[in-house]
A and B are shown apart, each in its own frame.
Chain A
């Protein structure tokens, strides 16, 4: 488990954006070096995350029955004729 929360979705999106920038026409080597370093860092972190993290299961203590039990049937007042068939 990583010590600080790692946002996988944001990290993979950032890496994809950096790669897209590199493949665009505005890419420049000097600016690219900083981005490149960040991209490599992200790729490493993402892979570490994939390799180490486990799932956790927590059972909820609340019970789910009883709360929605409908009331016992009551008689339909004033509608007794329906039972006269």
Chain B
């Protein structure tokens, strides 16, 4: 049987179809050599072992970790023959083979991003002190999630947590994490802070947090980001890129909200300072009232001729004092329970002293004295206090409680 005659293009097509069916996806491990990037988007390198070499091609944006010659990698891709009959592997994913290689790749990426200034301290922004909304990026089924929520609730309340449930390891993790960061950056209403957390794991488990897209998304976030990945000793590149780095998910909860007990103590202390200060003001007011009281007492000891004048002065003092007392009285009402009993007693004592002085003042007024049966005798010019100072036949005025008499001196 004569084989069918086909064109070159048809043959290349048949071979590619055959390869696609036989090896839709292969994973090949080898050492990278001749690594290069063309036109800023195409990546070419060879994968080698002791005896063979395999040409590889991929798009630059699919490269999650930096690769360099000599690095051992595991490449996932599809074999293909080009129209020039060159056999190559079209790479979909490339990852370092083993922890040592992963560390090396991370170190390379870290150096690159550090050089770009992505991890600069000057880029770090402070977190809001009292966030209302938190954009939480983690796996909803993880211990990291429940630990975070538990500690958050123990420390603080009134926060809206908006959870972006993402895969935190594996090939799809970086895209989901980046997508969630972008979601929160565009969210309406916006969130106050983004929290990215994951529990502990192997270096490989945590590798999504050290990929270039995640590190860039964290650094480029408009909303401040706090990252808490793994245990204390685990440091991912996302940690370096974050505004605040938390050692663990629990630590992230401690850093993102204040502690209600601490805040309560602060409120008590601040209000206490205010109470103390107003107590001092009240004390100053007491001193003022005391001065009025002392002045009133001094006037009361003066001779009778100045009683009228004293009445005027004392009324003025009383008036002023009344205002002071009323206000300190209002203060007493406010301070009930919060003010030292000594202050309250001081106010009460002063009020009592003022009332008794007022009574005394009333009894000392000329009208009160006249009502008791005394009279005031006046010459044309002054109050008469000495019988020797009037002449026989001189006219005097006698003021009684009711009415005035005009009299003549006989002797």
Q: Complex Cα distance A31/B161, Å?
A: 42
Most buried by A among B46, B58, B129, B270: B270
Given contacts A19-B274, A64-B176, contact A83 B163 (CB under 8 A): no
Are B57 and A64 in contact, CB atoms less than 8 angstroms apart? no
Q: Which A residues lie within 8 Å of B90 (CB)?
A: 73
Q: Is the CB of A76 within 8 A of B331?
A: no
Q: Does B160 contact A (CB under 8 A)?
A: yes
Q: Which of A6, A32, A43, A84 contacts B86 (CB 8 A)?
A: A84
Contact B178 A22, beta carbon cutoff 8 Å: no
Report if B164 contacts A (CB, 8 A): yes
Residue total for B at the interface (Cβ-Cβ under 8 A): 71
Q: Are B153 and A75 within 8 A (Cβ)? A: no
Binding site for A on B (CB under 8 A): 34, 36, 38-39, 42, 44, 46, 53, 55, 57-59, 61-62, 82-84, 86, 88, 90-92, 129-130, 136, 140, 149, 152-153, 156-167, 172, 175-180, 183, 260, 263-264, 266-268, 270-271, 273-274, 277-278, 281-282, 284-285, 327-328, 330-331, 334, 338
- Chain A residue nearest to B33 (CB atoms) is A85
For B90, the closest partner residue in chain A by CB is A73
| A55-B152, A55-B153, A62-B183 given; A73·B91 CB < 8 A | yes
* In contact, B273 and A22 (Cβ under 8 angstroms): yes
The chain A residue sitting closest to B167, CB to CB, is A65
A70 touches B61 (CB 8 A): yes
- Please give, as numbers and ranges, the residues of chain B lying within 8 Å of A8 by CB-CB distance: 130, 158
> Which A residues lie within 8 Å of B263 (CB)?
12, 46, 50
Given the contacts A40-B338, A43-B271, A50-B157, A32 and B278 also touching, CB distance less than 8 Å: yes
Contact B88 A46 (CB under 8 A): no
CB–CB A18/B55 < 8 A: no
Complex interface: chain A residues within 8 A of B172 (CB): 65
Find out whether the CB atom of A64 lies under 8 angstroms from the CB atom of B166: yes
Residue-by-residue, is A50-71 near B (CB-CB < 8 Å gives 1, otherwise 0)? 1011111111101011011111
Total interface residues in chain A, CB < 8 Å: 54
Indicate if the CB atoms of A52 and B157 lie closer than 8 Å.
yes
Query: B57, A76: Cβ atoms under 8 Å?
Result: yes
Which of A9, A33, A46, A60 is the one whose CB lies under 8 Å from B162?
A60
Q: Is the CB of B163 within 8 A of A19?
A: no
* Known A32-B278, A79-B38, A85-B55; contact A50-B264, beta-carbon cutoff 8 A: yes
A3 is an interface residue with CB less than 8 A from chain B? no
Give the chain A neighbours of B159 by CB distance below 8 A.
Answer: 55-56
Asked if B334 contacts A37 (CB within 8 A), the reply is yes
Q: Is the CB of A23 within 8 A of B277?
A: yes
21 A-B pairs in the complex with CB atoms less than 8 angstroms apart = A1-B158, A12-B263, A12-B266, A18-B274, A19-B277, A23-B277, A29-B327, A29-B328, A39-B274, A43-B271, A50-B263, A57-B149, A58-B162, A60-B163, A62-B164, A65-B172, A65-B175, A76-B38, A82-B38, A82-B57, A83-B84
Q: Given the complex, which residues of B lie within 8 Å of A43, measured CB to CB? A: 267-268, 270-271
Give the distance in Å from the alpha carbon of A22 to the alpha carbon of B278 in the complex: 7
Cβ contact within 8 Å between A83 and B44: yes
CB distance from B333 to the nearest CB of A (A): 10
- Residue with the highest number of chain B CB atoms closer than 10 Å, among A28, A37, A53, A57: A57
Min CB distance, A80 to chain B, in Å? 5
A59 CB to nearest B CB, Å: 5
Query: Which of A19, A82, A85 is the one whose CB lies under 8 Å from B273?
Result: A19
- Cβ–Cβ contact A59 & B55, under 8 A: no
